[in-house]
Amino acid sequence: MIDLRRLWHIVLKRWWILAGSVALMLILGVVVTLLSTPIYRASATLQIDREAAQVVDMEGVLPAENLYSAQEFYQTQYGLLKSRSLAQRVVASLGLAEDPLFVEENRRSPAGERKTNAQKPADAAELRRKAVDQFLNNLKVTPSVNSRLVTVSYDSPDPALAQAVVNSITETFIASNLERRFEASSYARRFLEERIEQLRERLEQSERELVAYAADAQIINIQSASANAEAGSNKGRSLISASLETLNASLSKAQTDRIAAEERWRAAQASSGLALSEVLASPTIQRLRQQRAEAVAGRQELLERFQPEYPAVKQADAQIAELDRQLAAEAEDVRRSLRGQYVSAAAAEQAIQAEIGRLKGEAIDLDQRSIRYNILQRELDTNRTLYDGLLQRYREIGIAGGVGTNNVSVVDRAERPVKPVAPRPMINLALAGLLGLMAGAAVVFLLEFLDESLKTPIDVENKLGLPLLGSIPLLPDAAAMAQASRDPRSGFSEAYHSVRSALQFARVGGTPRTLLVTSAQPGEGKSTSALAIARAFARMGKSVLLIDGDLRNPSLHRMLGANNRSGFSSVLAGASLSEAVQPTDQMHLSLLSSGPRPPSPADLLSSPALRDFLDRMSETIDLVVIDGPPVMGLADATILGNAVEGVLFISGAGVVRRGAALRAIERLKASGADIVGGVLSRFDSKKANLGGYGYEYAYSYDYGGSDEETASPKRSRRA
């Protein structure tokens, strides 16, 4: 998770870098803006309508252009507007490659950068190429979203030139579009002419093959009405098929006639006399019956006056008998006629059936011979269909039709620009400020990343791997430190009280009887910490002996106002302890100053007298606190660390770097020292945004030479 307070602290810590970076970039932005050449932009708006051009409309055979999506079509048009061929035509039509004004002005980019003389074209071809490249660099094609409009703009230091270029682009693009349509129409006509000629030859060849095969196979077709409706079609029926169709119709009629004749004949056989309907329907029968009825009526009248033997009656009887004979003869003739009709109908039916049987055999044979004929017929029909389709398309395509319409039109022509589009002072300054802010922030965070100094208490645990026993606030000067150390209720004293409590629980056995207070390098506050810790334990009523173990650069006697004529070095050399120990203003706290500086402090500390002395002190005194020298550059601290029960490592916030502190800790551990924990001194809680105290303190170190190691030079540090 990002700690925003920590980031803000980092920014406040080095705010002057941010401010300087922003100011520098703003100055550069102003300079660049003032030195930049004004650039004018002329724009024109075109409307491009999507139009699918189909040269050959044969679905499923040739691809149609309307299969492409609208997006691909418009992307193609935008690419044509940015094409090099169109740029070459515009440059050539306006003579821009030979125009010194265009060449000189367009050697400057919209940002005002000028090309060097070494980049001048060497010849005319190179000059044209450079002019086209510069033309394309300054040309912009911007489509409008969800519309068919596209904006074409051109940037130039000369507003009149920008206007002329844009208008020329639109006119040239429209002209090239018309030319492409014209070329497409011409190509289509040439293509169709070639295809039509090929199909015509194939059609003629198919017809010749079909006719030759029909002649060889004796296949004769009769044009049907449906075939006649199709111009140029050879489809029809064969003679055998036509005959079969006719005979089938005749057979149906013959069967109907035979059945009817048979029914009439059977009726005639089953009846006698004049009961047949055909007999009754005969005009002769009807006339004879009429005459007989009249004769019977006349005889009946004669019988009313004469006897049957009367000659007139007998004559009437004879007449009636003759009429009966004639009626019977006529009825017999009708029956014979019906029988003849039946026999004739049956014979006709049989004859037709026989002929149909013969034709069926011939039709089967014809079907076998027509397989090749049908293949040739289908090929002929296919060629004729293709030929007719291409011929129809050829008639539809015309040069005038291709040139007469155009899908590109000018909506707004370019006007002469009045205000430049570049440079834009406000935007340039805003970008410069943003760039300066980003660059400054990068430098600030880079410095923070490279800064390995310890800044917060948590760094003691995370970066050094030591238990944190406390953090000591930064005091402004020595006077404030002295005042705060004497006041048990001050925040400074309370911080060391917290360290005292932590020391009591840092080890299983409690507070070490002998404690060395040291640091990696001078100026980290170890002497102040040693004194403050000794005071904190003395306030608890424990007897505490504070030893100044820094034999090279002692400072405790100055801090407590004591003398340094006899001290720690004297006791180790064999002097009396009672003469060297000095009382302090703090009850239960005694001071053993460093004493005279020995020729070789390391040799003195390495003697058995050190351990004997510490053993005696731990038996009679509750706590021995040794203010040791820094670890780095000296062997004294490692010797003392090996002799005491515990070591308290002091790290100055913002003073010591992580690498130096780790090396010091490694040296202490290598010597066998038991480091009970670490304390962060000189901690400024306000700068760390963690809350704390606003005090600070300072003192100085002054090291001399060493027999074993070279001491650090004189340095002034805050303690």
- Kindly report, residue by residue over 231-269, the tens digit of the pLDDT: 444 455 666 777 777 877 887 888 788 787 777 777 766
Q: Tell me which of 10-14, 388-392, 621-625, 642-646 is least confident.
A: 10-14
| pLDDT for residue 598 is more than 60 | yes
**Helix intervals (H) in 546-608:** 556-560, 568-572, 577-580, 601-605
Q: Are 117 and 132 in contact (CB under 8 A)?
A: no
| pLDDT for residue 167 is more than 90 | yes
Q: Is 218 exposed, middle or buried (0-12, 13-18, 19+ CB in 10 A)?
A: exposed
The percentage of residues in the chain with a pLDDT greater than 70, rounded to a whole number, is 81
* C-alpha distances out from residue 713 to 195, 521, 522, 587, Å: 103, 11, 10, 37
Q: Over range 147-152, report the average pLDDT.
A: 92
| pLDDT for residue 499 is more than 50 | yes
The residue among 308 and 481 whose pLDDT is bigger is 308
Residues 6+ apart with CB under 8 A from 591: 545, 546, 548, 556, 557, 560, 562, 581, 582, 583, 584
- Backbone conformation region of residue 340, classed left if phi is above 0, alpha if psi is from -120 to 50, else beta: alpha
Give backbone dihedrals phi and psi of 518, rounded to 5 degrees, phi first. -140, 175
Return the structure tokens found at 141.
Answer: 């094609």
Q: Over range 16-27, report the average pLDDT.
A: 91
Confidence band (pLDDT; 50, 70, 90) for 281?
A: low
Q: Is 184 exposed, middle or buried (0-12, 13-18, 19+ CB in 10 A)?
A: middle
pLDDT number for residue 111: 35
pLDDT number for residue 55: 45
Distance CA 408, CA 174 (A): 6
Return the structure tokens found at 189.
Answer: 């006509």
Confidence band (pLDDT; 50, 70, 90) for 712?
A: very low
The residue among 192 and 69 whose pLDDT is bigger is 192
| pLDDT for residue 465 is more than 60 | yes
pTM more than 0.75: no
In one letter, which amino acid is 512? Answer: P
Confidence band (pLDDT; 50, 70, 90) for 379?
A: confident
Query: Which value, to the nearest 10 degrees, does the dihedral of the CA atoms of residues 267, 272, 278, 284 take?
Result: 170
Q: Tell me which of 70-84, 366-380, 489-503 is least confident.
A: 366-380
Residues 6+ apart with CB under 8 A from 700: 523, 714, 715, 716, 717
Q: What are the tens digits of pLDDT across the range 84-138?
A: 999 999 999 888 888 776 765 554 434 334 444 444 445 788 888 888 888 899 9
Q: What are the tens digits of pLDDT across the range 404-442?
A: 567 888 999 999 999 988 888 889 899 999 999 999 889
The residue among 566 and 338 whose pLDDT is bigger is 566
Q: Tell me which of 141-145, 206-210, 326-330, 648-652 is least confident.
A: 326-330
- Cβ neighbours, 10 Å, residue 272: 11
3-class state of residue 678 by DSSP: strand
DSSP label at residue 702: -
Confidence band (pLDDT; 50, 70, 90) for 278?
A: low
480: closest CA among 654, 686, 719, 650?
719
Q: What are the tens digits of pLDDT across the range 674-711?
A: 999 999 988 876 655 443 333 333 333 333 333 333 33
pLDDT number for residue 42: 93
Confidence band (pLDDT; 50, 70, 90) for 170?
A: very high
Distance CA 719, CA 477 (A): 9
Q: Both ends of the chain: CA-CA distance in Å?
A: 35
328: closest CA among 268, 288, 283, 295?
288
pLDDT number for residue 590: 93
Confidence band (pLDDT; 50, 70, 90) for 453?
A: confident
| pLDDT for residue 625 is more than 80 | yes
